[in-house]
Amino acid sequence: MIMSVENLSMVFGGLRAVDDVSFHVNKGEVVALIGPNGAGKTTVFNCVTGLYVPTHGDVFVYDNENVTEHKLRGMTPDQITRARLARTFQNIRLFDEMTVLENVMVGFHVKLKSRLFDAIIRTSLHKKEEKSVLADAYSVLEYFQLEEHANDVARSLPYGYRRRLEIARAYATDPILLLLDEPAAGLNPSETEELSKLIIRLQKEITILLIEHDMSMVMKLADRIYVMDHGQLLAHGSPDEIKNDKDVISAYLGEPIDA
């Protein structure tokens, strides 16, 4: 197990956006979180990554390589990134006026140690790290096939590339678990196809938790699926099980009249 979410609830005033949700993600899996709009999927992501502090419940992350366990409740987003969780956003959040390469270099922030003082007097640590981060960032861009645009300003990239750059930037933080919030939103079929290939490639290194509305992609990629509706977990199982689940079908398509 790499992450477990236990009895998570998030209440905004009178609205229970997430209501007692528990699930877990195993190492090496691709787990999908699906559900109709407003089901509370993104709120779960925001609770996990520390943007919201959940009203109840806990999230645990297990880093087997370093044999550490983190209780994410009460940790700030940057601490959670240091606990090796990375995410992308539903509405792309790039550093628009910075170059593509610099975006990825920011992703390496947690891996580096040089401080302001090192930069001012150009210590050997600073020089060494700047050199390595440049090479590392460039190889990440190569991995994501963005190296041609390394020195372009992120704002100037086409939409599909922007999505990919956001994943590349998250990848640069060296996560054990990558949370992708609707990565295929707004992509055309061929771009979605490319994205699927990319996720399959990433899965060999990183565990992935995915929010997605593109069902054909989810069914193809996911090992397990959790379905949410009205803030609650509705069902969970393999893609085939979910496809034939009555509750899921009625949540998406509505109740049959005679039921």
Partner 1 sequence: MSKFISNLRRSYRLLQGVPKFLIQSLMVSLWFAILTFPIMVIQVNYTANTVEWQWGRLLLILFGGFAGSFIWFLALDRKDNKPSNTSGTYSVIKGRLLDYYASHKKLVMAIVFAIILLIPFASSSYFTRVLISAMIMMVLGVGLNIVVGFGGLLNLGYAAFYAVGAYTYGLLNYHFGIGFWIALPISAFTSVIAGLLVALPVIRLRGDYLAIITLAFGEITRIVLENWGEFTFGPSGIKGIDKPGLFGIDLSPRGEIIYVYIVVFLVLLLTILISRRMENSRIGRTWESLRENEIAARSMGINVPRTKLLIFAVGACIAGVAGALFATNISYINPKSFALLESIKILCVVVLGGMGSIPGVIVGSIVLQVIPEWLRPLQDYRLLVFGALLVVMMIFKPNGLFPKVRKSYVFTKEESEQ
Copy the structure tokens of residue 79: 């601490």
Q: Rounded to an integer, what distance in angstroms lies between the CA atom of residue 54 and that of residue 11?
A: 8
Provide the terminal-to-terminal Cα distance of the chain, rounded to the nearest Å.
39
Q: How far is the CB of 119 from partner 1 (least distance, A)?
A: 3
Which of the stretches 2-10, 149-157, 188-196, 223-231 binds partner 1 when contact is defined by CB under 8 A?
149-157
Q: Among 94, 202, 206, 211, indicate the residue that binds partner 1 (CB under 8 A).
A: 94
Copy the structure tokens of residue 210: 């995915």
Strand order in the sheet with 56-63: 15-25, 3-12, 56-63, 68-71
Q: Rounded to an integer, what distance in angstroms lies between the CA atom of residue 60 and that of residue 218?
A: 25
For the segment 30-69, give every residue that binds partner 1 (CB under 8 A). 49-51
Site membership for partner 1, residue 93 (CB under 8 A): yes
Site string for partner 1, 100-119 (x = CB under 8 A): -xx--xxx-xx-x-xxx-xx
Which of the stretches 61-69, 134-142, 183-191, 218-226 binds partner 1 when contact is defined by CB under 8 A?
134-142
Q: Rounded to an integer, what distance in angstroms lies between the CA atom of residue 44 and that of residue 47?
A: 5
Site membership for partner 1, residue 129 (CB under 8 A): yes
DSSP SS3 for 82: helix
Q: Rounded to an integer, what distance in angstroms lies between the CA atom of residue 259 and that of residue 245?
A: 15
Site membership for partner 1, residue 140 (CB under 8 A): no
Q: How far is the CB of 76 from partner 1 (least distance, A)?
A: 7
Contact at 8 Å (CB) between 88 and 177? no
Site membership for partner 1, residue 134 (CB under 8 A): yes
For the segment 152-211, give every residue that binds partner 1 (CB under 8 A). 153, 169-170, 173
Q: Among 13, 37, 124, 151, indicate the residue that binds partner 1 (CB under 8 A).
A: 151
- Give 247's contacts (C-beta < 8 A, 6+ positions apart): 227, 234, 235
Site membership for partner 1, residue 229 (CB under 8 A): no
Which of the stretches 27-35, 55-63, 98-106, 210-218 binds partner 1 when contact is defined by CB under 8 A?
98-106
Q: Among 28, 38, 77, 158, indicate the residue that binds partner 1 (CB under 8 A).
A: 77
Contact at 8 Å (CB) between 10 and 40? yes
What is the DSSP pairing of strand 177-181 with strand 207-211? parallel
Q: Which residues bind partner 1 (CB under 8 A)?
A: 49-51, 76-78, 81-82, 86-87, 89, 93-99, 101-102, 105-107, 109-110, 112, 114-116, 118-120, 122, 126, 129-131, 133-135, 138, 150-151, 153, 169-170, 173
